[in-house]
């Protein structure tokens, strides 16, 4: 247990740290006098104690640790009889530090005051940290230093405070610079594989005031190694191997099997003269960067596939087999007129033969035995629109015949109504573009009369037409690659993925498979255009070329490499390989099967993965640069806020 008397004034030499002076003897010999200096720095140790008067006499008060009361005792006037020579007390270290701190503060204030009182030109020369890079100098010309350093716009107090704290410039940078993710997190936390590390600031990597031509973007590899656990001393030295599918992690938007075309189609004698000579025949090299964009349909595919679009019809309606005839034949004949068979029978009946008259009467009243002209199922499209099972005549006979009555009276309007109802918005004007309401009436009249519709001419130029038991659309044969009606029906089918009505879900799936079929779908659209998940539970048709989204922090410039590897077959490494120096065909890949589903990442490329060794042939020490910035970028989708340009004027 601690002695409570340990720190009594008469038994301890404890020197209180808040005193500004310490005993000179203690500083020099390590043996301070018991009383020590006064608060004003005067020596208080010339006497060993301060005698105290008790009654009419003085008592010695020398402490026990100093030997206790002396034998001589105090003098008659109360003065101590034991005298020592005085010493010179010294300031404590804490006191000296305080004096230096106050002095430094005063010096800073004085310097700032000088800066603020000299001429403007001299002030800029004194306070300038150096010239900015060209781009930043343009946008800060109007406001000057305060564009980035807010303390420069304050008073003396703000300047003083700025000297004692670190100024975070990142918020000022973000007034102009934009990113595809959180700007404070490593790599903007844009990829799922990027770990969420500590927050960063712009000035950790980018430093200014180093001259107009200074490259503020360039960074040494040490900046990357500061965060990444795997230290890379050079690409050819210890860079990790590429992934097993690099760089083919996601399938393309266009279905093109290089293996089958190289090994089979381009060798066919019928198209041998049209086969491409090399990669540049089909790929656009003028703007090749990370991806190499293919040329358009009319420049590459039309020679062999120009007729494919017009060979795929959309069956909008098909007359199904009816279990019974519930149509009012007299009403149908009154609205539509007699069919050719009915007309001939009427003519024969009018000739006066009694048997013919009875047969005509039976036909008009519907008393004769009903033999449906169709033995087919309803089309997948009409089954979805009407919400009926296409293979159950007992269920669909009545609603389908009622629908025929509406078509006879209203033309194409009932079809448009159902389409808009299923889509949840007005789209029928685009899906039924060019459909003549009179054509719909004539087809419906024929079917209501239990006969096939006979078109007046062959639809050789495409468009909407009736043929027997079907009302169909055929894309025009003009070679037009983007038929608007086929395009809209493909979109309508893809959108049905979001059907919420439980009764219609199965019908929607069947319709979607038919319309988007790679072998039967209208316009043969999905034979070449991939159908992929849109990331929101729906489907999207990839109509246009899509830049690769894989490896967002890796870049590669094909254009630069084409000067070394000529796509026509001249190569520094292999004069006969050209692009195949890096891109070798993998004839074992199940490429076509990759497009059977809608997951764009479930993919096997036509080409084998590129290995690190392929790049290391050139990118190694003593040859081509191999620092991190050569192939990797830090920020995700960097951009600029264009509003800054207005403010900078």
User: Terminus-to-terminus CA distance in the chain, angstroms?
Assistant: 77
Q: Which two tokens stand for residue 290?
A: 């990370």
Alpha-carbon gap, residue 451 to 324, rounded angstroms: 15
- Average confidence (pLDDT) over 451-477: 91
Query: Is 523 or 480 the better-scoring residue by pLDDT?
Result: 523
Q: Which two tokens stand for residue 258?
A: 């290089």
- Average confidence (pLDDT) over 115-138: 67
Taken as a whole, the chain contains a residue count of: 649
593 SS3 class = helix
Q: Which two tokens stand for residue 630?
A: 């050569």
How many CB atoms sit inside 10 A of residue 414's CB?
Answer: 20
Q: What's the pLDDT tens digit per position in 543-596?
A: 998 887 778 888 888 888 877 776 665 555 555 677 888 888 998 999 999 999
* pLDDT higher than 60, residue 495: yes
61 confidence band (pLDDT: 50, 70, 90): confident
Q: What per-residue confidence (pLDDT) applies to 402? A: 93
In degrees to the nearest 10, what's the CA dihedral of 630, 635, 636, 637?
A: -90
- How far are the Cα atoms of 95, 244, 355, 565, 581 from residue 257, in angstroms, in the given order? 84, 20, 68, 24, 19
Query: Is 478 or 74 the better-scoring residue by pLDDT?
Result: 74
Q: Which of 35-39, 176-180, 400-404, 545-549 has the highest mean pLDDT?
A: 400-404
Q: What per-residue confidence (pLDDT) applies to 416? A: 97
How many CB atoms sit inside 10 A of residue 268's CB?
Answer: 11
Which helix or strand (DSSP H or E) is residue 396 part of? helix 393-410
Q: What per-residue confidence (pLDDT) applies to 116? A: 62
Q: What per-residue confidence (pLDDT) applies to 375? A: 92
Alpha-carbon gap, residue 631 to 649, rounded angstroms: 36
- How far are the Cα atoms of 90, 322, 364, 375, 469 from residue 327, in angstroms, in the given order? 122, 11, 11, 18, 17
* pLDDT higher than 90, residue 492: yes
Nearest C-alpha neighbor of 136 from the set 211, 233, 230: 211
Q: Residue 73: left if φ>0, alpha if ψ -120 to 50, beta else—which one?
A: left
Nearest C-alpha neighbor of 49 from the set 38, 34, 37: 34
Q: Please give the full DSSP string across 303-349, using - where no structure is assigned.
A: HHHTTTGGG--EEEEE-PPPSS--S-HHHHHHHH---HHHHHHHHHH
111 SS3 class = helix
* pLDDT higher than 60, residue 645: no
Which of 31-40, 287-296, 533-542 is least confident?
31-40
| Alpha-helix runs per DSSP H in 586-640 | 612-616, 628-631
Alpha-carbon gap, residue 487 to 471, rounded angstroms: 18
Q: What per-residue confidence (pLDDT) applies to 163? A: 67
Q: What's the pLDDT tens digit per position in 200-222?
A: 888 888 888 888 888 888 888 88
Q: Which two tokens stand for residue 467?
A: 């043929």
Q: Which of 90-104, 410-424, 473-487 has the highest mean pLDDT?
A: 410-424
**DSSP-assigned letter for residue 158:** H
Alpha-carbon gap, residue 615 to 285, rounded angstroms: 20
**DSSP-assigned letter for residue 32:** -
Residue given tokens 């200096």 in the structure block: 37
* pLDDT higher than 90, residue 419: yes
Alpha-carbon gap, residue 560 to 557, rounded angstroms: 6
The beta-strand segments (E) located in 51-170 are 52-54, 57-59, 90-91
Q: Rounded to two decimals, what is the model's pTM? A: 0.68
Q: What's the pLDDT tens digit per position in 1-36?
A: 556 555 555 555 545 567 788 888 777 777 777 777
Cross-strand pairs, 470: 318, 467
* pLDDT higher than 60, residue 436: yes
Which helix or strand (DSSP H or E) is residue 263 part of? helix 258-263
Q: Which two tokens stand for residue 646?
A: 């207005």
| Alpha-helix runs per DSSP H in 516-634 | 558-561, 612-616, 628-631
* pLDDT higher than 50, residue 420: yes
* pLDDT higher than 90, residue 472: yes
Instruction: Return all residues near 499 (Cβ < 8 A) that are at least 6 apart.
Output: 422, 505, 508
């Amino acid at each position: 247990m601690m002695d409570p008397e340990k720190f009594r004034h008469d038994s301890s030499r404890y020197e209180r740290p808040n005193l500004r002076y310490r005993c000179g003897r203690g500083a020099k010999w390590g043996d301070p006098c018991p009383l020590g200096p006064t608060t004003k720095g005067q020596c208080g140790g010339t006497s060993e104690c301060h005698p105290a008067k008790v009654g009419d006499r003085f008592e010695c008060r020398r402490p026990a640790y100093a030997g206790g009361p002396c034998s001589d005792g105090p003098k008659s006037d109360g003065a101590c009889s034991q005298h020592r020579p005085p010493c010179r007390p010294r300031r404590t270290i804490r006191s000296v530090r305080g004096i230096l701190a106050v002095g430094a503060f005063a010096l800073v204030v004085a310097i700032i005051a000088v800066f603020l009182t000299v001429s403007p030109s001299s002030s800029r020369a004194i306070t300038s940290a150096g010239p900015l890079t060209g781009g930043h100098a343009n946008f800060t010309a109007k406001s000057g230093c305060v564009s980035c350093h807010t303390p420069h716009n304050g008073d003396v107090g703000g300047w003083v405070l700025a000297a004692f704290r670190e100024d975070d410039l990142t918020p000022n940078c973000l007034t102009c610079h934009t990113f595809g993710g959180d700007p404070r997190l490593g790599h903007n936390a844009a990829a799922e594989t990027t770990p969420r590390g500590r927050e960063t600031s712009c000035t950790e990597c980018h430093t200014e005031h180093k001259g107009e031509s200074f490259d503020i973007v360039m960074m040494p590899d040490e900046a990357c190694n500061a965060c990444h656990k795997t230290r890379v001393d050079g690409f050819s030295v210890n860079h990790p191997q590429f992934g097993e599918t690099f760089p083919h992690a996601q399938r393309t938007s266009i279905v093109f099997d290089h293996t089958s075309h190289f090994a089979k189609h381009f060798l066919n004698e019928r198209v041998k003269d049209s086969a491409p000579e090399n990669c540049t025949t089909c790929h656009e090299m003028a703007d090749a960067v990370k991806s190499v964009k293919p040329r358009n349909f009319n420049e590459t595919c039309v020679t062999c596939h120009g007729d494919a679009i017009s060979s795929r019809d959309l069956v909008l309606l098909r007359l199904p087999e009816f279990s019974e005839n519930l149509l009012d034949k007299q009403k149908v004949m009154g609205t539509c007129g007699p069919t050719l068979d009915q007309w001939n029978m009427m003519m024969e009946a009018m000739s006066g033969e009694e048997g013919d008259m009875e047969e005509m009467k039976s036909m008009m009243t519907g008393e004769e035995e009903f033999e449906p002209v169709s033995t087919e199922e309803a089309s997948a499209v009409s089954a979805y629109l009407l919400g009926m099972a296409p293979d159950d005549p007992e269920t669909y006979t009545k609603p389908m015949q009622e629908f025929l009555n509406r078509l006879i009276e209203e033309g194409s309007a009932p079809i448009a109504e159902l389409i808009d109802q299923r889509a949840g918005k007005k789209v029928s004007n685009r899906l039924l573009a060019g459909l003549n309401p009179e054509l719909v009436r004539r087809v419906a009249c024929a079917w209501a009369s239990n006969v096939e519709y006979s078109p007046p001419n062959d639809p050789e130029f495409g468009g909407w037409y009736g043929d027997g038991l079907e009302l169909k659309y055929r894309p025009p044969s003009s070679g037009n690659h983007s038929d608007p009606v086929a395009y809209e029906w493909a979109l309508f089918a893809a959108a049905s993925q979001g059907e919420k009505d439980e009764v219609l879900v199965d019908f929607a799936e069947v319709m979607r498979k038919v319309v988007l079929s790679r072998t039967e779908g209208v316009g043969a659209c999905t034979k070449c255009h991939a159908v992929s998940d849109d990331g929101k539970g729906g489907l999207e048709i990839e109509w246009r070329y899509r830049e690769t989204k894989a490896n967002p922090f890796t870049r590669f410039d094909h254009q630069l490499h084409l000067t070394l590897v000529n796509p026509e077959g001249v190569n520094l490494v292999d004069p006969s390989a050209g692009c195949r120096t890096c891109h070798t065909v993998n004839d074992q890949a199940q490429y076509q099967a990759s497009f059977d589903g809608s997951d764009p990442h479930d993919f096997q490329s036509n080409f084998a993965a590129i290995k690190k060794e392929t790049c290391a042939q050139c990118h190694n020490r003593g040859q081509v640069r191999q620092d991190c910035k050569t192939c990797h970028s830090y920020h995700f989708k960097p951009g600029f806020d264009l509003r800054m340009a207005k403010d900078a004027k």
